[in-house]
Amino acid sequence: MSGRFAGKVAVVTGSGRKGGLGEAIARRLSEEGAILVISDIGASRDAATPDTMIGGTEEMKAIAASLPSPASTCVCDVRDPASVKALADHAVATHGGLDIWVNNAGIGYIMKPLAEVSPDDWRAVIDVNLTGAWFGLQAAAEIMVKQGRGGRIINIASQAAKSGFPHAQAYTASKHGLVGLTRSAAIELGEHGITVNNVCPNHVTTGLGAWQNEHFAELQGVSVEEYLKRMAARIPLGRPGLPQDTAGAVAFLCSDDAVYMTGESMNVSGGEEPH
């Protein structure tokens, strides 16, 4: 394979759903030569991980097989540090190293009014979106430090890392938490040539995004079409985000062009989020 990531090994968590953000990120890195590990939870394990919102084992395999560069799959529950470590070890054992780690796995489908959020709801979102990213960052950094050749760790945060949204208390808290986690990790890992950054997209209509469209359209008492029209009207570039917008930002942060960027939370919002 040729390309600016030729020979690099990349892990993307939550990349096992067709049409999802993780798949778009993995595909972009693969198109530029990276060797990929496609990872997702594989099957529903509890109420917080319904089959309709997770990447299944067969779907993961299909995505890996469709990529232009070599790829493997590895089931991982990011809530379990042993599972995350096994994912990092899989990359090394199967492909010979680890150069890029993208914490993309997330829960964005538990959204309720403040008074209706249960402790289990709160823990489910924080456990995946924030603690899961911490486990990934820790596992990836350990290997990258040992390798001694630097690396790239990228968290898929959100516009919710910068601003609050109704019905998204845990989600917003988890994404704000990624900002602090990234800043601190970047300071510690800089001496090893490892950069740590966030990408903060606005709304992206993936399978999860479609669920959010329906949820908030119903909340506002309008059709999905009207909801999307109103959303586009407040975005300076005139449309919601696309998966490839986020994938492009990830590819940039993985490249040599971003070698002097770390601890950043980069907006990919069409101008909707200005800070």
- Active site residues per annotation: 171
Distance CA(11)–CA(90), nearest Å, equals 10
269 Cβ contact partners less than 8 Å away, ≥ 6 residues apart? 159, 200, 201, 202, 235, 241
Number of alpha carbons in the 13 Å side-chain half-sphere of residue 143:
27
Task: Give the CA angle between residues 247, 59, 66 to the nearest 5°.
Answer: 60
Structure tokens at 58: 């067969």
Contact 253, 261 (CB under 8 A): yes
Q: Which residues have a Cβ under 8 Å from the Cβ of 119 and sit 6 or more positions away?
A: none
Alpha-carbon distance 169 to 80, whole Å?
23
Identity of the amino acid at 243: P
> What is the rounded CA–CA span in Å between residue 25 and residue 106?
14
